[in-house]
Amino acid sequence: MLAGVTGVADKVISGWAVNGITTFQEGLPLALTMNTNFLTTYALQGTQRPNVVAGCARKLGGPIQKRLGDAGSGPVPVVINGVTTTVNQVINPEFNLACFTAPTTNFSFGNESRTDNGIRSPGTANYDLALSKETHITERVSLQLRIESFNLFNRVQFGSPNLLINNPLAGQITTQANSPRLLQLGGRVNF
C-alpha cells in the first residue's frame, strides 16, 4: 500500500521499529531463620531455623496488593533488638507466622528446611518498550531517534520479606526491588 512513497512522506513513514522485553518470574524460595541465633553466637557455626507446626498452611493466599499496610498513617514505629526505628509502609506478612515456632532447645537447628519451596518472595512482572525511527539523510548518513521506557506500566516489584522469626517485622515486606518508570531519549548519527 505505501511501498511507492518517496520524498518527504517516505522520510516520515518509513524506518520505524518497536522493541519490547516482557519478564514474568516466580519469586525465590525463602530461607527462614531465628531472630536470636544461639548456634552462631555461642557455637560459632550454623544458622538456627524455626520448627514448622504440623498441618499448618504456611502460605497466605491472595494478591500481595491486598495485604498493603496503612500508608496514610505515616511512619510506623518498630522496636528491633531494643532499638526503636520507623518504617514508612509495610506489607502484612507474606506467610503465616503461626506456622513457625522457636526450636525446643537453644542449640538445635529446628525442622524447617534451609529454603522452603512452599513460601516464596514476590515474583516479577515487568515490561520494557522501545520505539525508534531511523531516517536516511544521504546514502551513507542516517539519523536514529529512540525513546525507551523501562518499567513501562510503573509497577512496583516488592522485595523479600523479613525472614527472621520472632522479629517484630517477621514476614513483612519493607523494600522495593525495582525502580520506578524510567524514560530515556536518545539520538545517534550513523555515517
Rounded Cα distance between 10 and 141, Å, is 16
With 0.75 as the threshold, say if the pTM is over it. Answer: no
Cell numbers that stand for 143 in this block: 539519523
- For residues 94 and 161, is the Cβ–Cβ distance under 8 A? yes
Read off the pLDDT of residues 87-108 as tens digits, 9 standing for 90 and up. 555 566 778 888 999 888 777 7
CA neighbor of 145 nearest in space, from 184, 103, 90: 184
| Mean pLDDT (10-residue bins), the chain, 191 residues | 71 89 93 79 74 88 70 52 58 81 81 88 93 92 96 90 87 86 95 91
Pairing of strands 182-190, 51-52: unpaired
- For residues 141 and 191, is the Cβ–Cβ distance under 8 A? yes
- For residues 93 and 60, is the Cβ–Cβ distance under 8 A? yes
